[in-house]
C-alpha cells in the first residue's frame, strides 16, 4: 500500500507492547486491524457469557471491568483488554463501555501470532498466574532479554591454564608471561588460583623471592560461577568476593577464567566499573562525582533490562564499599579507633532498596569500652557525614545522621528497647527508620541490637502502633485514577511504596526480625502463614513494579536536569503501564485491608 | 408492499473518497481513490485500498492545495479504466458510503462512463446528510437552542463528535475517517435499519 501508514496503524505501532514487535509480524497483525465504535453503556462481554474474540486497544473513551456489579478497573486511552478472554477462552469479567469508545481490535488468530514474539508475549504472561487465579486483567512490565542477561561463559577466550602447587612463583610468572594471562589455576583438592596481584602483594611486598612455592601464595577454595550465569550475577560475585578473577564452571569442570576487566568491558557503566573507581579513590578530593557515576550505572542497568530490586542491590554494595573507603580515610587521619565500632545504614539503604542516592540515613555504634573516648567517634562521624555529602549523599533533613545519632552499644540497646516498650508517635517515626538498620562497616558485634528487634514479636502493642502508622498512608482507589481531573497524578512514594514498606516491616518484625528488605519480609510473612501466597505474590509484584517505575521516572528527570521526585502524571504513562500501576495500587490496598485485620488495628 | 429494510449492520458498506483535480465532474480529473469496507459494524483496515489515477482531464492548479498531488506522482499511475474496474469489483452490490454525495457520486458516474462500465446505482449513505439529520434531531430535542447548521468539514465534524484527529488526508485516510464518522452518527441517530440511513 503506497503512502504513510494509516493513522490507526501508526497509533497501534506506537502503543506498547506493539512498539517492539518485529516489522513483518506487526504488518501481518495490522492487516487484520479493525476499528469499532461502542456507545457508552454497551456491554462488550458478560461474566460466563461468550468470551471476547478480539484484543482491544482503546483509542478514545473508557471501559469498566466489573464483576458482580463491582467495578474492578477503568481502562482508558492506550490500554488493552480482551486478552484474558483470548488466553483462557472464558469470559471472567463484565466489560462495559464507560465513555463512548473508539477501539482498534485484532482477531484472536493475529493475537496468537503476535504471542510468538517473546517480548510481546512477556507483556501478557508476567503475572498471568495470579491474573488467572483472580481472573483480573492486568498487563505486565517488560522482562526482556538484554546484554546483562547474556551468559558470562560467552566471555571465555580460552581453556584455563593449570600449574602444580609444587611449582615456584618464578615458573608461574614465566608461564603467565608466555601465555599472556593474569592468573593460573593451581592443581589440588580443592583447586586454587594465583594471580599477578598475588605476586605483588604476597610475594614482592612480603619480601619473598621467585623460588617461593605457588602453594604458599595461592587462594582457595575458588569463588566460581556457573558458565550459564547471566552477566549481572557474575558482577555480583566479583563484587561480593572482592576478587578480580572468576573461574566459570560447567558441572564439576572449570571451563575458563574471566577477569573483572573482561566483565567490565561488557558495560563501561557497570557496577564493577564503579567499584573499581571506589577502590582507586586516592583521597577525599576524588569523592565528588561518585553520585553521578552511580546514577549513570543505574540508568545503564535499567536500560539493560535489569529489575530495579537487583539494581538497588548493586547500589547498596557500592555505597557500602564507599563507606568502608571513607572510614579508612578518617581512621588514617584520626588514628586507630579506641574501641570497635559499627557504621549503620538506616532506612532504604539499610533495606538495600536505594536506587538513586538520596538523603543520608546513618548511625554510629561503638563498644562500651569506648565510652570515655566519645569525642573520637564524634569527630569520626562528622568526617564521614561530610565525606558522604561530598560524594553526593545530601544531608538528611530529618537529621538521621551519625554525627547526631551515635552512642555506645548499651545506649543504643536502651534506645531500641524504649521504642519497643513505649511506642509514641515521634518514637515511631524514629523507630521506623532505625528498625531497618544494617551494619555496613566496622568490627563491632551488633548482635545485641538484633536481639532487641527479635523481641518485637512479643510486643503486639508496638506492632499494632506501627501498623496503624503504616495504614495512615492513603492509597487511592485505582478506579479514581484517571487521565484527567482530580486524581490524575500520584505520589509513588507516599501513595504506593511507603504503605508496602511500612507494612512489610510490621510483618517482618513479627515473623523474621533479621529480614531487612521489603520483599524478604513479605516472603517471610507468607512462609509464616501471616499472608496468603496470593496476596504476597500480588504485593511483591506491585512493589517491584512501583520501584522500577519510580526509578525510571527519576532517571528521566535527572537526564532532563530536573530534581527527581515521586509525583507521576497518569497522562505521562503509556497505557500498559497505567494498567499495571492501577493493578499495583489495588494490590497495595489489599495488603492494607489484610494488615488491618492481622494487626487488629481499629480506627 | 414495501420490502423490509435490512438491519444497518447486516449489510456491507464501502467508504470511498476521491481526490480530484477540481470540483467540476464534467471536466476535472480523478487523481486518487481510497476505499475501505465496514463489515459487521467494524471498519476493516486490512481491506483498505488506495490508488493514484493517471489524470484524464483537467487539474486545476488551485486543487493541488487540497490533494497535495503533483503531476509527477500521478503520471505513472494506472489509467482510469483499470481503477474504475477495481472500484466496481469492490463495490459490487454493497452500499456506497461517502462524505458529501454531491461531489463523489457525479465523479464516480463519469468515471464509470469513461471506463465503459454500467453505473450500478448503489444505495448511497452520505455522512454529510447524516450530520444535517443529527442537527435537526438535536433541534427537535432542544428547541430552545438556536438552530445552527452543522459542521460538515470532515475533520471538524469528527472532532466535534469526539473522534481522534488524523494527520494524513490521502483518499484512504479520508475513507477511514468517513467510515468512523458514520459509525458514530449511526449510533447518535439510533438508526436500526439501512433505510433509516439513506
Residues A34 and A107: their CA atoms lie apart, in Å, by: 9
DSSP strands (E only) in A108-200: 162-163, 183-186, 192-195
**Predicted local distance difference test score (pLDDT) of residue A133:** 37
Residues A167 and A450: their CA atoms lie apart, in Å, by: 48
Of the candidates A2, A31, A33, the beta carbon closest to that of B50 is on A2
Q: Which residues of B touch A33 (CB under 8 A)?
A: 45-46
**Predicted local distance difference test score (pLDDT) of residue A346:** 93
Residues A528 and B76: their CA atoms lie apart, in Å, by: 76
**Domain residue spans of chain B:** 8-192
Place of cell 610475594: A203
Mean residue pLDDT of chain A comes to 85
CB atoms within 10 A of CB A143: 15
User: Is A113 in the B-facing interface, judged by CB distances under 8 Å?
Assistant: no
Q: Examine the pLDDT at A267 and tell me if it is beyond 60.
A: no
Cα distance from A578 to chain B (closest Cα, Å)? 20
Place of cell 469498566: A64
Residues in chain B: 198
Mean residue pLDDT of chain B comes to 91
Helix (H, G, I), strand (E, B) or coil at B138: helix
**Predicted local distance difference test score (pLDDT) of residue A230:** 80
Of the candidates A1, A34, A60, the beta carbon closest to that of B44 is on A34
Helix (H, G, I), strand (E, B) or coil at A281: coil
Fold of B8-192: Nucleotidyltransferase; domain 5 (3.30.420)
Backbone angles phi, psi at A99, to 5 degrees: -130, 145
Indicate the Cα dihedral angle A26, A29, A34, A39, nearest 10°: -80
Helix (H, G, I), strand (E, B) or coil at B177: helix
Lowest average pLDDT, out of A126-140, A294-308, B20-34, goes to A126-140
Q: Examine the pLDDT at B51 and tell me if it is beyond 90.
A: yes
For residue A350, CA distances in Å to A214, A433, A450, A542, B90 come to 41, 9, 13, 21, 69
Residues A141 and A145: their CA atoms lie apart, in Å, by: 13
Range(s) within chain A of domains with CATH label 3.10.580.10? 151-258
Superfamily of domain A272-442: Beta Polymerase, domain 2 (3.30.460.10)
Place of cell 525510571: A552
Backbone angles phi, psi at A33, to 5 degrees: -70, 140
Residues B116 and B81 sit within 8 Å (Cβ to Cβ): yes
Selected for mutation to probe chain A from B17, B19, B33, B46 (highest A CB count within 10 Å) is B46
Q: Examine the pLDDT at B157 and tell me if it is beyond 90.
A: yes
Asked if B172 lies within 8 A of A1 by C-beta distance, the reply is: yes
Asked if A35 lies within 8 A of B180 by C-beta distance, the reply is: yes
Residues A137 and A65 sit within 8 Å (Cβ to Cβ): yes
Helix, strand, coil % over all residues of chain B, rounded to 5? 45, 20, 35
Q: Examine the pLDDT at B44 and tell me if it is beyond 90.
A: yes
**Predicted local distance difference test score (pLDDT) of residue A388:** 93
**Predicted local distance difference test score (pLDDT) of residue A374:** 95
Cell of B9: 449492520
Residues A205 and A212: their CA atoms lie apart, in Å, by: 13
What CATH number was assigned to the domain covering residues A151-258? 3.10.580.10
Domain formed by A7-144, architecture: Sandwich (2.60)
Interface of A with B in 182-221 (CB under 8 A): none
Cell of B131: 450530520
User: Is B180 in the A-facing interface, judged by CB distances under 8 Å?
Assistant: yes
Lowest average pLDDT, out of A72-86, A299-313, A530-544, B162-176, goes to A299-313
Q: Examine the pLDDT at A286 and tell me if it is beyond 60.
A: yes
**pLDDT-derived band of residue A596, with 50, 70 and 90 as boundaries?**
very high
**Predicted local distance difference test score (pLDDT) of residue A305:** 66
**Predicted local distance difference test score (pLDDT) of residue A201:** 82
Helix (H, G, I), strand (E, B) or coil at B51: strand
Backbone angles phi, psi at A438, to 5 degrees: -145, 135
Element containing residue A320 per DSSP (H, E): helix A308-334
Residues A578 and A536 sit within 8 Å (Cβ to Cβ): no
For residue B91, CA distances in Å to A50, A584, B12 come to 33, 50, 9
**Predicted local distance difference test score (pLDDT) of residue A53:** 93
Cα–Cα–Cα angle for A124, A129, A134, rounded to 5 degrees: 100
Q: Which residues of B touch A2 (CB under 8 A)?
A: 50-52
Residues B15 and B176: their CA atoms lie apart, in Å, by: 7
Selected for mutation to probe chain B from A1, A7, A100 (highest B CB count within 10 Å) is A7
Residues A527 and A516 sit within 8 Å (Cβ to Cβ): no
Residues A389 and A362 sit within 8 Å (Cβ to Cβ): no
What CATH number was assigned to the domain covering residues A460-598? 1.20.120.330
Residues 6+ apart with CB under 8 A from B36: B14, B15, B43, B44, B45, B47, B48, B49, B172, B175, B176, B179
Residues B87 and B103: their CA atoms lie apart, in Å, by: 17
Q: Examine the pLDDT at A483 and tell me if it is beyond 90.
A: no
Q: Which residues of B touch A32 (CB under 8 A)?
A: 46
Residues 6+ apart with CB under 8 A from A463: A456, A457, A506, A509, A510, A599
**Predicted local distance difference test score (pLDDT) of residue A95:** 93
Range(s) within chain A of domains with CATH label 2.60.120.10? 7-144
How do residues A97-156 score in pLDDT, each as one tens digit? 998 999 999 999 999 898 888 778 777 755 444 443 333 333 232 333 345 667 788 778
Backbone angles phi, psi at A168, to 5 degrees: -90, 165
Range(s) within chain A of domains with CATH label 1.20.120.330? 460-598
Of the candidates A1, A30, A100, the beta carbon closest to that of B50 is on A1
Lowest average pLDDT, out of A108-112, A214-218, A282-286, B127-131, goes to A282-286
Cell of A267: 558495560
**Predicted local distance difference test score (pLDDT) of residue B181:** 97
For residue A445, CA distances in Å to A64, A336, A450 come to 57, 18, 10
Asked if B50 lies within 8 A of A3 by C-beta distance, the reply is: yes
How do residues A223-260 score in pLDDT, each as one tens digit? 999 988 887 788 778 877 878 899 999 888 898 998 87
The number of C-beta contacts closer than 8 angstroms across A and B is: 67
Range(s) within chain A of domains with CATH label 3.30.460.10? 272-442
**Predicted local distance difference test score (pLDDT) of residue A382:** 94
Q: Which residues of B touch A61 (CB under 8 A)?
A: 162
Q: Give the chain B residue nearest A33 (alpha carbons).
A: B45
Asked if A36 lies within 8 A of B52 by C-beta distance, the reply is: no
Average confidence (pLDDT) over B21-47: 94
Q: Which residues of B touch A36 (CB under 8 A)?
A: 41-43, 183
Amino acid at each position: 500500500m503506497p503512502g504513510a501508514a494509516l493513522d490507526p496503524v501508526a497509533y497501534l505501532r506506537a502503543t506498547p507492547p506493539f512498539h517492539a514487535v518485529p516489522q513483518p509480524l506487526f504488518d501481518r497483525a495490522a492487516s487484520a486491524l479493525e476499528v469499532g465504535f461502542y456507545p457508552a453503556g454497551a456491554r462488550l462481554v458478560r461474566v460466563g457469557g461468550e468470551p471476547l474474540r478480539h484484543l482491544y486497544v482503546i483509542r478514545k473513551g473508557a471501559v469498566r471491568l466489573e464483576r458482580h456489579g463491582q467495578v474492578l478497573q477503568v481502562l482508558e486511552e492506550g490500554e488493552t483488554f480482551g486478552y484474558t478472554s483470548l488466553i483462557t477462552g472464558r469470559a471472567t469479567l463484565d466489560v462495559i463501555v464507560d465513555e463512548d469508545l473508539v477501539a482498534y481490535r485484532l482477531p484472536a488468530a493475529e493475537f496468537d501470532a503476535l504471542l510468538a514474539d517473546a517480548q510481546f508475549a512477556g507483556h501478557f504472561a508476567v503475572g498471568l498466574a495470579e491474573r488467572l487465579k483472580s481472573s483480573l486483567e492486568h498487563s505486565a512490565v517488560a522482562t526482556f532479554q538484554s546484554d546483562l542477561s547474556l551468559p558470562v561463559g560467552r566471555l571465555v577466550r580460552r581453556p584455563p591454564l593449570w600449574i602444580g602447587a609444587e611449582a615456584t612463583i618464578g615458573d608461574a610468572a614465566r608461564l603467565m608471561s608466555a601465555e599472556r594471562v593474569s592468573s593460573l589455576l593451581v592443581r589440588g583438592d580443592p583447586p586454587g588460583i594465583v594471580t599477578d596481584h598475588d605476586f605483588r602483594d604476597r610475594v614482592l611486598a612480603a619480601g619473598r623471592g621467585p623460588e617461593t612455592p605457588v602453594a604458599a601464595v595461592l587462594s582457595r577454595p575458588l569463588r566460581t560461577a556457573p558458565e550459564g550465569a547471566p552477566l549481572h550475577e557474575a558482577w555480583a560475585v566479583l563484587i561480593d568476593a572482592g576478587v578480580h578473577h572468576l573461574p566459570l564452571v560447567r558441572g564439576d569442570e572449570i571451563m575458563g577464567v574471566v577477569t573483572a576487566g573482561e566483565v567490565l568491558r561488557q558495560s563501561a557503566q557497570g557496577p564493577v566499573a564503579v567499584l573499581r573507581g571506589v577502590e582507586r579513590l586516592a583521597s577525599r578530593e576524588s569523592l565528588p562525582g561518585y553520585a553521578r557515576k552511580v546514577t549513570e550505572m543505574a540508568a545503564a542497568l535499567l536500560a539493560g533490562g535489569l529489575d530495579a530490586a537487583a539494581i538497588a542491590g548493586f547500589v547498596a554494595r557500592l555505597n557500602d564499599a564507599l563507606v568502608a573507603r571513607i572510614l579508612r580515610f578518617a581512621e588514617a587521619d584520626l588514628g586507630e579507633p579506641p574501641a570497635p565500632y559499627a557504621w549503620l545504614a538506616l532506612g532504604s539503604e539499610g533495606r538495600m532498596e536505594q536506587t538513586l542516592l538520596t538523603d543520608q540515613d546513618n548511625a554510629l555504634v561503638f563498644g562500651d569500652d569506648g565510652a570515655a573516648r566519645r569525642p573520637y567517634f564524634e569527630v569520626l562521624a562528622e568526617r564521614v557525614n561530610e565525606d558522604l555529602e561530598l560524594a553526593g549523599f545530601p544531608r538528611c533533613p530529618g537529621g538521621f545522621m551519625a554525627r547526631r545519632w551515635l552512642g555506645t552499644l548499651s545506649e543504643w540497646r536502651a534506645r531500641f528497647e524504649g521504642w519497643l516498650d513505649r511506642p509514641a508517635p515521634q518514637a515511631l517515626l524514629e523507630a521506623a527508620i532505625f528498625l531497618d538498620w544494617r551494619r555496613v562497616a566496622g568490627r563491632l558485634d551488633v548482635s545485641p541490637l538484633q536481639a532487641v528487634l527479635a523481641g518485637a514479636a512479643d510486643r503486639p502493642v508496638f506492632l499494632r502502633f506501627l501498623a496503624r502508622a503504616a495504614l495512615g498512608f492513603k492509597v487511592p482507589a485505582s478506579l479514581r485514577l484517571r487521565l484527567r481531573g482530580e486524581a490524575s497524578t500520584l505520589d509513588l512514594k507516599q501513595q504506593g511504596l511507603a504503605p508496602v514498606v511500612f507494612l512489610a516491616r510490621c510483618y517482618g518484625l513479627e515473623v523474621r526480625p533479621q529480614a531487612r528488605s521489603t520483599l524478604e519480609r513479605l516472603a517471610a510473612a507468607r512462609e509464616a502463614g501471616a499472608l496468603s501466597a496470593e496476596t504476597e505474590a500480588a504485593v511483591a509484584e506491585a512493589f517491584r513494579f512501583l520501584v522500577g517505575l519510580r526509578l525510571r521516572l527519576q532517571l528521566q528527570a535527572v537526564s532532563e536536569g530536573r530534581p527527581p521526585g515521586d509525583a507521576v502524571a497518569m497522562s505521562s504513562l503509556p497505557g500498559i503501564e497505567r494498567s499495571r500501576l492501577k493493578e499495583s495500587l489495588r494490590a497495595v490496598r489489599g495488603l492494607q485491608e489484610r494488615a488491618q485485620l492481622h494487626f487488629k488495628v481499629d480506627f | 408492499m414495501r420490502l423490509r429494510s435490512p438491519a444497518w449492520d447486516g449489510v456491507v458498506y464501502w467508504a470511498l473518497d476521491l481526490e480530484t483535480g477540481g470540483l467540476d465532474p464534467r471536466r476535472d480529473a480523478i487523481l486518487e481513490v481510497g476505499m475501505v469496507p465496514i463489515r459487521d459494524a467494524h471498519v476493516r483496515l486490512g481491506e483498505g485500498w488506495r490508488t493514484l489515477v493517471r489524470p484524464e482531464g483537467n487539474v486545476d492548479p488551485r486543487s493541488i492545495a487540497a490533494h497535495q498531488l503533483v503531476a509527477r506522482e500521478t503520471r505513472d499511475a494506472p489509467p482510469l479504466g483499470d481503477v474504475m474496474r477495481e472500484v466496481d469489483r469492490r463495490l459490487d452490490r454493497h452500499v456506497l458510503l461517502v462524505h458529501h454525495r454531491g461531489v463523489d457520486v457525479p465523479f464516480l458516474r463519469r468515471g464509470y462512463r469513461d471506463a465503459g462500465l454500467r453505473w450500478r446505482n448503489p444505495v448511497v449513505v452520505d455522512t454529510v446528510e447524516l450530520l444535517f439529520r443529527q442537527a435537526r434531531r438535536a433541534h427537535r430535542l432542544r428547541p430552545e437552542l438556536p438552530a445552527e447548521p452543522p459542521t460538515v468539514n470532515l475533520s471538524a465534524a469528527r472532532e466535534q463528535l469526539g473522534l481522534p484527529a488524523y494527520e494524513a488526508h490521502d483518499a484512504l485516510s479520508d475513507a477511514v475517517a468517513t467510515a468512523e464518522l458514520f459509525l458514530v452518527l449511526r449510533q447518535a441517530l439510533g438508526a436500526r435499519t439501512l433505510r433509516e440511513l439513506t
